[in-house]
Structure 1
């Protein structure tokens, strides 16, 4: 698995930002140049834990944007499956960020986040700086959802370029 200090691999995937084929657009590792990227994988569309995470990140989308960061959700489902899920799950239809369709598992494999034996992506989160360097990695078991607020806290800490103590939050003194 790639880790802190590694470069985000090159990719060219279809991004889905809505409920129809009209919302499909290419997204690459060069998209959103100069911005921090929060890339988070979920195992499968039409499941139970995944929508809670997508909604949680979506609720904080404005906070990430305020920090010059872009959210990129990703699973190994197709672009059409993403659009269908957005259509048929009332909490997901207006998700404010792009969902990447990694159906060939190229990005997930390059990052090393395919669950052994399951063949789906783990619940992996990568914070990538504007230069394309991975600055944070978190991987959860398939059964355990993430805390998007913690991802935001870690982004805040990384953006200080200072030493941040345990449980540090934005506005507190650094070391």
Structure 2
């Protein structure tokens, strides 16, 4: 079953953010747009490149009212140690959520049970706590924060403009489509 349009399941976790340990729950994700990015593990290879890319684009997400949450099955203590020792992760100002019990990874259906790590899963969640975008792929394939930012803008646009949809490669300010009988076969 798809997770699209389902509500985020209840959870409570601890994250490392800006030198502190902070609590993050399903309720934390409500009231604003959120991006939850699962990655396999701290102190690895592709993961720091992705998290650094998100850090480099964090202000653009924040300007849209979007919070980012990086999640792995490591503890919040491991996240702090990684933050303190990696130049790439040292740039991260968004919460790095510890999920050592794999509750979140199971809730979002990204856990590789036999390895105890998560697949690369990306979830965009609306202010009501509903999942509006879900991408899961193999752990050898890194993500692109600017493409994710484009998708977040499209999700927000569609939510704010009922009856309109964003075509392929849509960028902010570009034309959208209004599905109707008159449009069938014209594209």
Which residue is 1:83 aligned to? Answer: 80
TM-score (norm 1): 0.93
Partner of residue 181, structure 2:
none
Secondary structure in structure 1 of the residue aligned to 2:172: coil
CA-based RMSD: 1.3
Task: Kindly indicate whether residue 46 of structure 2 is the aligned counterpart of residue 49 of structure 1.
Answer: yes
Aligned residue runs from structure 1 range 1-175, under 5 A: 3-19=3-19, 23-161=20-158, 162-175=164-177
1:125 positional shift: 0.4
Offset of residue 32 of structure 1: 4.8
- Structure 2 distance, partners of 1:131, 1:26, is 19
Q: Secondary structure at the match of 1:37?
A: strand
Greater relative CO (CA pairs within 8 A, separation 6+): 1
CA contact under 8 A between 2:36 and 2:69: conserved in structure 1? Answer: yes
Matches of 2:2 and 2:100, distance apart in 1: 20
Unmatched runs of 5 consecutive residues or more in structure 2? 159-163, 178-187
Equivalent residues, number: 172
Q: Which runs of 4+ in 1 moved over 4 A?
A: none
